[in-house]
Structure 1
């Protein structure tokens, strides 16, 4: 049976009304916590007991609100245009008059007479459109939009940027602060770990620091802005600090340590013969071998050596062939044994014997043995080296005449002959005087040259902006003590100064990354070891930082076109650079940290401040008698925005990071990588020519024998020395 059309529409009406919702004007809408535009509506209620009349089908039944442009969140200053679409009971669009209500009213500013508004403050803004029905009821729809000027503001109250903390006073670090934002906060993390906020946005947690440079960062996300709120603080945490003097200078009693091992003096190996005309030395015994081999004894003898009526004797030449030298380290110093198996003296002259005139032309061969004990000590930085010949014994083991006159040979063989006594005395006296004069003096030259190599050095470092900083380095051996059969141990007092008034007088001083120890971290069986205290390297960095090396104007580094806008650009080093051993498997001898650098840029309409933290690997090695630093090609640079007086900075952190790579880092790399090299305490044998002219051209070089190692807070360099000599 066919039903009337009106009956069919009445039957379908409850189904249609079930999909409609009505909003009453003045309804209380809460904020949108999802960050999406939201229709805020209320249900029209249960189905009416009385079926609606057809006249009500054309009355407003629903208001839908949309906004243009459509965004997840709107920046402060954006202009928003809301649109209301009204539908009747049959879901048809109709066009009745619409009233607009925007709340909070103080968050917006109407754009003239149009239904457009500028949003002026952060937070949720509700655009509500209402239509009045004939029965006096209002039908409303609304849309909540989120206004977000930027990410949440993170205020880090503890730790403070640039703090230098003592481990005993701060076994753990309290990380506390506050997160603020008109919009709800979705998440907050401290160094990647989620934490909770209290009702006022405060947070607090603990951080386990490690020795050296530490970084604490806090991120906060509001679910709206595409960037998280961020705050970071860099600080140094150390078990102890070595204070600087009032003038900013730093003095370290154990800036360097030095070991001249038993193998430095004698490795029990013979001289290396490179060719018939060239030899190489590896220890002091080899050098003394050369001293004896080419000792100029002839020039030390008078000519003639004897001139009397019965005897006239000249020694034309003295040759020392194939001597043997052994040196041992004792509790007091050095013990030396030398043997000259074949000393040949070329003679001339005459002898009156039994009314005969006999010629003394010819040669006399002898073998000698030398034993010497030498004490070595230095008791303070101001005291001189003490090198004393405590015991000296010289024995003529045998003498063989080879004169042209058989009669003279026969006379010499007589046990008590005056000729034999005179010649033996002359030989013994000449060798004795040469050793007494040359041996202590030679050793004293070796030891004093060790100190001379490290005294009064100066480095000039220039970052290309402002005034260069000259660093003065003065090293003095404060202790040199023998250890039986092991070598001589030395401790070097080092003083660093710049002559510039300190900028950071409140700093506790140079961070010490390890506790002091009385045991010296030497390798076994080495020739020459130099230990560079990491406190000395950090003392150098501290002195340069305190003199203002990392406080500079970088306006000229700002690239075009921003260089025409920037009014000032300044870098401030909140912390001194710091070296520490690798901790995360980095393939370097040590790591250098620069943090916290802060860059402030002043523009016509804003002031922006950024933080920067730089980490770079470095290798240290021995070359050309100096310990030099080689930096890795690419540093790790992390930069973040600290504050801006506008909603957004003029330059982004990424842009400034690239600026650091392109402009500032090459200057830092050049200053620290090329400007810092340390002359090592190495023996200087340039005075050998005074004892034996043939040795004046002995070329001595130092060579690193194994990779640098960090041991008990010292950067240990294990070295050998090698001397090469072209024979006359």
Structure 2
């Protein structure tokens, strides 16, 4: 009975020993017997020479690893056991390695270099006195890299139209010498077919999108990774053959009813400091400080019967109202108390009467101004089409009672002369002042955008000149709402375009005839998102992001790298935040590709860079301010030999410290547009006090993105310091 139990245990023992992955048993010929570990202490097994024969071969690899890279030297070691599980020393072992072409034996020793990826079997056999040899084996997994992933769609650098691609099909293939355990597309698991291919659907958003695929083979401690960046947009605005971009609605401008008149009087901080918030306030100051004295001859009348001099004219507390019409502006004004100080003499019935004293009067004014600009090439049309000035009241206050009595006579020469004097002087001033004031206001805005040029220089090769020109192509008054202006913008560079196949500048939405203005604003400036993206497109198309960056490689790495080059597969693009970023906008650069050339290899990396930006109005400019630190993501696209010389983390540091400061400095110059306050110094011709009137442009509320426009709500704030 004991012999029967021992026989069963000996038969099961090899099966137990074959379980661990690194313990291999004879698979060609099973041992005829096995050691009995359950023999009681001190009990001798039956005398049988067969127990001393080889029964088990265990194979181990040195070094012991889960996976080996090609080129690794492996030294297998075989341990032979007899039927009692005792090691047998000096056994004559024969080695067989398969596939034979996967290895190279070193000096006829039991050492092999693995030369190709895949599974390599190391098999050790030992002869027995009779029967088949006893063998054992183990496998080595040779795996240089993680699974290789090819994204076939969408292609890196693609610029897709929403109508053709409402959703994006992601297609590709995964290859690896080992079995693939898992594949994910943007974090979602997908299945592979029998040929290692995968597919998935991606829902895109406006701007630069990223599709990334990971794959794991269960052997490598790193996942395979591939990424493809592409642009998705509802529409694209094409550029000319020379790369010039023209946007008919590059900027929009709305001067609202409150810009002209908000119904409030000027703010008098003191007798010498006044603040204005609308054009009606400025006209109030024009009337209040109107220099009528310089408009009058001295004397006003010089005849044998009447000599009239006007020593001074003061206008007290005028009232002004401005309303927008479908043709332009209507002005209602009143001067309730105009006082003219007089001198001279009147000959009446052989009597000489003094004209010393003053005359107070009340005037009412009504004017209609037509405003139009029909195209970018036309000049502003600002005409005073109607001007009515009525003398409502005139009250004499002369020293001589007789003169007061004469003035009261309806047809007296004195009354007629004074009334004509008042009407002609005020009429002349307004004809010269009001249209010119509006013309200065509008043309100064256009002149500020007429021609601007920026030199974009990364310090690598010739600088690129970016040229910007803006012209008001339409200026339309809307009754009680505002003057709506559309500004045509033109962008060009000094370089030849290098991406001729690009469909143009990505648009956030289809062009719409409706302009996205706020209600009841003083001044609105709208910057078409396509204009900023047009700037990026121009500098990208001119080659600013395709360049040799060998000089940027810091020591000591520059001794290893023969050449370094960056290529911008896609233009930079600005878009609203999509992931809760604390910025007005996000600027994206993708897909940049960096190629590093060494004496024996070429490594290529992809780069996706994003940086936040805030938009605002400051110091007479509407522009974008980039955040200090960008977000940079790099990944390996291809390494010609095994692992890359430098990993992505090391190159991210290079991007942060070397390349990004240069890109930020060069591109940042093109992200602002001058919108200075109008120059109203010409008002000094009519009133010297008004030559000190200073206007500044101030932002009223935070930026808003509306229908593809970056809208800034602002107002002109005027300050007048009186002597």
**TM (normalized to structure 2)?**
0.95
| Match of residue 70, structure 2, among 63, 76, 95 | 76
CA contact (8 A) 2:25 2:58 kept: no
Within 5 A, what are the aligned runs for 1:472-621? 472-621=467-616
Which residue of structure 2 aligns with residue 438 of structure 1?
A: 433
Show CA shifts across 1:131-168 (max 9, x none).
01110411000010100111111122111111111111
State the 1:46 CA deviation.
Answer: 11
Matched, 1:180 2:179: no
Counterpart residue number, 1:4? none
**Could you tell me how far apart the structure 1 residues matched to 2:56 and 2:16 are?**
6
Would you say the 8 A contact 2:28–2:135 is kept in 1?
no
| Aligned equivalents of 2:474, 2:670: Cα separation in 1 | 29
Q: Secondary structure at the match of 2:125?
A: strand
What SS is found at the alignment partner of 2:13? coil
Is the aligned partner of 1:94 residue 2:79?
A: no
Kept in 1, the 8 Å contact 2:549–2:565? The answer is yes
Q: Is the 1:459–1:676 Cα contact (8 Å) retained in structure 2?
A: no
1:159 to 129, 139, 154: 154
Q: Give the root-mean-square deviation of aligned CA atoms.
A: 2.2
Note the C-alpha offset of 1:675.
4.8
1:391 aligns with 2:386: yes
Cα distance in 2 for residues equivalent to 1:626 and 1:695: 25
* Residues 21 and 42 in structure 1, CA contact (< 8 A), matched pair in contact too: no
Q: Which residue of 2 aligns with 1:638?
A: 633
Report the 3-state secondary structure (helix = DSSP H, G, I; strand = E; otherwise coil) of the residue aligned with 2:282: helix
Shift of 1:206: 2.5
Q: What is the CA deviation profile of residues 67-111 of structure 1, one whole-angstrom value per residue up to 9, with x for unaligned ones? A: 100000000000000000000011110021000000011000111
Closer, same or farther: CA 221–109 of 1 in aligned 2, 3 Å: same
Structure 2 match to 1:65: 59
For residue 643 of structure 2, the aligned residue among 641, 648, 651 is 648
Secondary structure of 1:446 counterpart: helix
**Aligned equivalents of 1:679 and 1:671: distance in 2?**
18
- 2:705 is aligned with 1:720: no
2:16 and 2:130 map into 1 onto residues whose CA distance is: 15
The SS at the match of 1:19 is helix
Q: 2:4 & 2:310 partners in 1: Cα distance?
A: 147
Inter-CA distance 15–394: structure 2 relative to 1 (3 Å threshold): same
> In the alignment, is the contact (CA less than 8 A) between 1:629 and 1:674 conserved in 2?
no
Is 1:309 the equivalent of 2:309? no
2:357 to 362, 387, 406: 362
Distance between the aligned counterparts of 2:226 and 2:568, measured in 1?
17
Deviation at 1:682, TM superposition (A): 4.5
Question: Which whole-Å CA distance do the structure 2 matches of 1:247 and 1:314 have between them?
Answer: 68
Q: Which residue of 2 aligns with 1:39?
A: 24
Q: 1:669-713 CA deviation, whole Å, 9 max, x = no partner?
A: 333445521113753323222332211111111111110011111
**Gap runs ≥5 in structure 2:** 34-44
Task: Give the direction of change, closer, same or farther, for the CA distance of 1:666–1:700 in structure 2 (3 Å limit).
Answer: same
SS at match of 1:543: helix
Do the aligned residues in 1 keep the contact of 2:27 with 2:136 (CA within 8 Å)?
no
The farther-off stretch of 457-466 and 367-376 is 457-466
CA, structure 1 residues 22+361, in 2 after alignment: closer, same or farther (shift >3 Å)?
A: closer
Deviation of 1:466 after TM superposition, in Å, equals 2.9
User: CA 1:540 to 1:403, structure 2 compared with 1: closer, same or farther past 3 Å?
Assistant: same
> What is the 5 A alignment of 1:403-414?
403-414=398-409
Contact 1:38-1:145 at 8 Å conserved across structures: no
Does the alignment pair 1:206 with 2:201? Answer: yes
Q: Secondary structure at the match of 1:496?
A: strand
Match of 1:693 in 2: 688
DSSP 3-state at the match of 1:708 = strand
Shift of 1:718: 0.4
User: What is the SS of the residue equivalent to 1:412?
Assistant: helix
CA-CA distance at 1:203 after TM superposition: 2.1
**1:357 Cα offset (Å):** 1.8
Output the CA distance in 1 between the equivalents of 2:75 and 2:602.
33
- The DSSP-based 3-state class of the residue aligned with 1:584 is coil
8 Å CA contact retained: 1:22, 1:42: no
1:467 to 462, 465, 468: 462
Q: Secondary structure at the match of 1:439?
A: helix
Indicate if the aligned counterparts of 1:358 and 1:407 stay in contact, CA closer than 8 A: yes
Partners of 1:472 and 1:498 within 8 A in 2: yes
**Cα distance change of structure 1 residues 570 and 92 upon mapping to structure 2, 3 Å threshold:** same
Deviation per residue, 1:241-261 (Å, 9 max, x gap): 000011111100111111101
Would you identify which runs of 4 or more consecutive aligned residues in structure 1 move more than 6 Å?
Answer: 7-11, 43-48
- 2 CA distance for matches of 1:207 and 1:41? 52
Equivalent residue, structure 2, for 1:141: 136
Match of 2:345 among 344, 350, 354: 350
Q: Give how far 1:17 is off.
A: 4.1
State the aligned residue count.
Answer: 711
**1:38 Cα deviation after fit:** 6.0
1-side partners of 2:335 and 2:615: how far apart? 44
* Residues 446 and 175 (structure 1), Cα distance of their counterparts in 2 relative to 1, 3 Å cut: same
Please list the CA deviations of residues 432-476 of structure 1 after superposition, one character each: whole Å capped at 9, or x if unmatched: 111112111211111212211222122233334333322211111
The aligned counterpart of 2:259 is 264
Residues 1:565 and 1:43: Cα distance change in structure 2 (over 3 Å)? closer
Structure 1 residue 55 corresponds to structure 2 residue 40: no
Match of 2:41 in 1: none
1:107 paired with 2:102, answer yes
Deviates more, 1:475-484 or 1:674-683: 674-683
Contact 1:17–1:89 (Cα < 8 Å) also in 2? no
* Structure 2: distance between partners of 1:38 and 1:514: 65
Moved more, 104-113 or 577-586: 577-586
